[in-house]
Structure 1
Amino acid sequence: MKPKKPDATRTIHNPEPDYTRSLLKLPRESYERMYKRLCVLYSESIARATMLELERILMVFYAHKPRKLIEKDKNFDPQERFSQKDIILITYGDLMRDKESSPLATLARFCDTYVKGTINTLHILPFFPSSSDKGFSIIDFETVDPHLGSWLDLEDLENRYQLMFDSVINHVSSKSRWFSEFLNNNPYYKDFFITFKSREDLTPEQRRLIFRPRTSKILTEFHSLKGPIYVWTTFSPDQVDLNYKNPNVLLRIVEILLMYVRRGADIIRLDAVIYLWSEPGTRCVHLEQTHEIIKLLRTILDVVAPRVALITETNVPHNKNITYFGNGHDEAQMVYNFALP
């Protein structure tokens, strides 16, 4: 099998925005679609304010986009995104090591030597600084773990392979700056996490309804500037769930995903995405708001980065898994299937 055509790689954006050229103008239909999604999540007034900031974020992203890539995107045919010839290598970033180069550079050399021309896409599992769970408790979304390498290593890989990035956006590490600022009572981070004043605020009946993949306590006690506080932790005491009822959380996550695109992500895998929106008194999975967030992300990428695909990782029965396709055109382009027939 021949590797992907050269124009399928080399999608790194310019390091600085160019505000001397025409700015992004959102198509009216796309604007209305995004606003409609936000109105499902928030009140009309909050949705309006959030849409203004979202539009600013998209304009900044677009100003980083190389002119050649803008022109290529105009002729992009979504039907050509995937084919039966695509082969993806999934790996952790630290499986290949030597004494003279970083693990990511060693991985690049291995791929160039042994599998180039056989695979065309690399899915490197979370390569960010992390405090637990094999990289899935992320401390900093925007930095490559220095034990693995740097953004330059990934840029080098992107010149020859399509890249899939993991987007672990359900939670962050309890050692992250976001959570530290929350514990320090920084007002901006006040509602970044799902909190309770006591364990009893979540009733036994509400607890029984919650669908979870772990048996640890759903509420973990932390000590903040204002005293003890109980925080929603779906996966572990070290992984604190983000609160998407706060639109600032959603906006920061959008910025991070677009930063991944600027850094060369061709595919973004949304990890553990079924848990994005939690509502006591429900199963806290597959909620309407979760689907609306994914649809919003899809609309955003369709406008500013149509070559980039979303893949949802759900690890649930087939009938639930495929609901993340939406209507086939408005949610994920692909769903992650753990149990193949």
Structure 2
Amino acid sequence: MAFAASTPTHENRVQARFTRLWPEIERRFASLYGQHPRGAEVMDRLKRTLMDAALARPQPLRALDAAREADPDWLQTPGQSAYTFYVDRFAGDLNGVRDKLDYLSDLGVRWLHPLPLLEPRPGDSDGGFAVADYRKVDPKLGTIDDLEALADDLRRRDMGLILDVVCNHTAREHAWAVKARAGDPAYRDYYIVLPDAQSAAGRDQELIDVFPDTAPGSFTYDAEMGGYVWTTFYPFQWDLNYANPAVFAEMLEVLIFLAGKGAQGFRLDSAPFLWKQAGTTCRNLPQTYDIVEAWRAALSIVAPGVVLLAEAIESLEDVIPFFGRAAPGCNLAYNNVVMTALWAALADGDAAIARHCLAVAARKPAQGVWLNYVRCHDDLIWNALAAYAPPADLARWSAAYGRGEGFSRGRAFQTADGGVPSTNGMAASLVGLDAADDIESAAARRLCLLYGVIHALDGWPLIYMGDEIGLGDDETYEQDPLRAGDGRWLHRPLMDWRRAERRRASGSVESGLFTAFARFGRAARALASFGVSGAAAPIDLGARQVLAFQRMGEAGQLLCVANLSAEPVEITLPPAYAEDALDILTDEAAASVVRLESYAQKWLVAR
């Protein structure tokens, strides 16, 4: 007589994951810390931590893990729209965000990606990126219980929460730094201190200055530490010493703690900077990739349904290894180079730079997913295209968007020596949208074009707060002493909820944009039903102003064509689409010769 196999218990699943993944953690750990005197001690601590946390995983989160383990391709499901925002700028506090979930659902959002919300240092905290306590929420935003309640609400709606974890540095006021300044040797080794100004100046020569105007240099003298503390970003942000295995373990325990509160993903802020090594720029070193891969394996034991997002605003060659080399790394990474290339192509009305960067982005490993975006809370960094375009092009794009030499009303931002100024401004400002414009204006069409393209690409599309209603710049930031010194606050406005209500007013630009963004999300989700999958592969249809790319699947294929210019253009479709293609944005059949109006696009599915 045959008996059905018994359902594995939670303990069985945990043990199976541990057996499979612990050797990978050991390998990565040995390569990083095999010679460290505390290596074995920290390894023992990690083993206990992982088993205890995995066994104690809350029941609803176990169910989420099990569902995602049963469907390993769930990450590749198209149309997983994400929405990013500062909690206080969007809805006041966490409970205010809970009240806005219907709005986000109407937009088609599947993931919420709030910017830093953990407790920051008092005063200037670089927009929350100087964390004083990883286990508490910023008091003005709520409590850790409020965060857990938001995560629960989202999970019930089949939505997920991605938290920002600032893993490269802490605030000077963090408990670790307080203990270090008090002379505790264990915690002094959590940070990196050079003994004198000459040593700091020597290392500075090797590094790329992130904020040369507002925070020049990468070291800050601190009398209590007896030397120059490594501070890549601002003087109050102290870089952690990942050559110390205790730091690796501490940050992993932070991730595990927040995963237990319902977070379904983590944005690893400033990930390229984790490992420091003399004689290098200390960016994208092999040890950094080892750290990320070890964290991924550890989280896959405790919370396999949780995703990692690499915040790596680097060349594609440096970003792609974050997806993992011999072992899985981050599940997602920002598609920064393609984003910047889209703005560049739009400025020129020429798709060449976008085609080139799409071809490079397609080299990512199959398990990795791009997070495709148009704008974010940071500046638009033209130097990110330095490997793909000559300096004259970078300078032209920088001038077009930051100095009023094109349709844009953006503002120039600082840059490292040898680079061109970055650009600040909301997407509405960068496309030249005015309050009096309607949805058929050139500016509104430009904004829809960009968001349509990122929804058609493989990966997850990311909407920056307010772009869906054409929200403009915050010109008042210069009157706020805590914000005036950082031009990026130009594109971190308060959400205008009165304007958001106009999304219900037929004929308004807010209605047109919101409707278009929601339509892009629906169309992206529908791609699965047409059998469309795979990476976006650019093709040249003979018109310089047309960006075209295909996505091929076993059962279907998509051709996206987008006119980057203000003038109409006609193109001849490839044979596969010439006879029986459907534009799934309009449900209209396509002829073999297609006319694309000003800044228009079509998503053509071969039937």
Report TM bin, short chain: 0.7 to 0.9
**Could you say which residue in structure 2 is the equivalent of 1:214?**
211
TM-superposed CA distance for 1:129, in Å, is 1.9
Contact 2:22 2:297 in 1 (8 A): no
State the distance in 2 between where 1:302 and 1:23 align. Answer: 11
- Aligned residue for 1:293? 291
Q: Residue 284 of structure 1 aligns with which residue?
A: 282
Aligned: 1:59 with 2:59: no
Q: State how far apart, in whole Å, the 2-side matches of 1:122 and 1:185 are.
A: 40
Distance in 2, matches of 1:249 and 1:31, equals 19
Q: Which residue does the alignment assign to 1:232?
A: 230
Q: State the match for 2:431 in structure 1.
A: none
Q: Which amino acid aligns with 1:223?
A: A
- Which residue identity is paired with 1:95? R
Q: 1:66, 1:176 → 2: CA distance?
A: 28
Is the 2:14–2:301 contact (alpha carbons within 8 Å) kept by the matching residues of 1? no
Q: Distance in 1 between matches of 2:34 and 2:140?
A: 44
Aligned partner of residue 267 in structure 2, secondary structure = strand
Listed as ranges, the gaps of 5+ residues in structure 1 are: 1-20
Aligned residues: 313
**Structure 1 range deviating more: 123-132 or 135-144:** 123-132
TM-score, normalised to structure 2, is: 0.49
> 1:166 touches 1:270 (CA, 8 Å); kept in 2?
yes
More off after superposition, 114-123 vs 328-337: 328-337
Match of 2:186 among 159, 180, 188: 188
Partner in structure 1 of residue 34 of structure 2:
43
Give the drift of 1:328.
8.1
Give the C-alpha shift of residue 212 in structure 1: 3.7
AA paired with 2:174? Answer: S
Deviation at 1:23, TM superposition (A): 10
The change in CA–CA distance for 1:239 and 1:56 in structure 2 (over 3 A counts) is same
- Aligned amino acid, residue 63 of structure 1: L
The alpha-carbon deviation at position 245 of structure 1 amounts to: 1.1
d(CA) in 2 for partners of 1:35, 1:283: 28
Assess if the C-alpha contact under 8 Å between 2:87 and 2:94 holds in 1.
yes
Name which one, 1 or 2, has greater alpha-carbon Rg.
Answer: 2
More divergent stretch after superposition (137-146 vs 213-222): 213-222
In the TM superposition, residue 178 of structure 1 has moved relative to its aligned partner by 1.2
Matched, 1:27 2:18: yes
1:13 alignment partner in structure 2: none
Cα RMSD after superposing both structures = 2.2
Residues 211, 141 of structure 1: alpha-carbon distance in 2 compared, 3 angstrom cutoff: same
Displacement of 1:72 in angstroms is: 5.3
User: 1:17-166 maps to which residues of 2 (within 5 A)?
Assistant: 25=15, 27-44=18-35, 46-67=38-59, 69-70=61-62, 73-74=65-66, 76=69, 77-97=71-91, 103-112=93-102, 114-117=103-106, 118-131=108-121, 132-158=125-151, 159-160=153-154, 161-166=159-164
Name the SS of the counterpart of 2:210 in structure 1: coil
Deviations 1:78-131 (A, max 9, x none): 21134222111101010145xxxx62211221222x222421211111101223
SS at match of 2:87: coil
Q: 1:50 to 1:326 in 2, by over 3 A?
A: same
State the distance in 1 between where 2:229 and 2:60 align: 46
Distance 2:254 2:40 in 1: 21
| SS of residue paired to 2:264 | strand
Asked if structure 1 preserves the Cα contact closer than 8 Å seen for 2:112 and 2:160, the reply is yes
Matches of 1:285 and 1:182, distance apart in 2:
25
Q: Deviations over 1:205-240 (max 9, x none)?
A: x4222134222222111121xx63210000010100
Q: Which amino acid aligns with 1:189?
A: Y
Structure 1 residue 46 displacement after superposition: 4.1
For normalisation by structure 1, the TM-score amounts to: 0.85
Q: Distance in 1 between matches of 2:332 and 2:30?
A: 26
Q: Distance in 2 between matches of 1:108 and 1:28?
A: 39
Q: Does the 8 A contact of 1:233 with 1:240 survive in 2?
A: yes
Q: 1:324 to 1:22 in 2, by over 3 A?
A: closer
1:172 maps to which of 164, 170, 173: 170
What amino acid does structure 2 have at the position aligned with 1:246? Answer: N
Look up the SS of the partner of 2:161 in the other structure. Answer: strand
Give the counterpart letter for 1:144 in structure 2: V
The structure whose RCO (Cα within 8 Å, separation 6+) is larger is 1
The 1:27/1:145 distance shift into structure 2, 3 A limit, reads closer
* Partners of 1:261 and 1:327 in 2: CA distance: 25
Q: Report percent identity of matched pairs.
A: 29
Per-residue CA shift, 1:143-199, capped at 9, x if unaligned? Answer: 001101122322222222310001101000112111111000123312010011212
Give the drift of 1:22.
8.0
Moved more, 307-316 or 157-166: 157-166
Which amino acid in 2 is paired with 1:230? Y
Q: 1:68 deviation in Å?
A: 5.5
Classify 1:96/1:51 alpha carbon distance in 2 versus 1 (closer, same or farther; 3 Å).
same
Provide Cα deviations, 1:25-52, integer angstroms capped at 9, x if missing partner. Answer: 4634422211110111112564333221
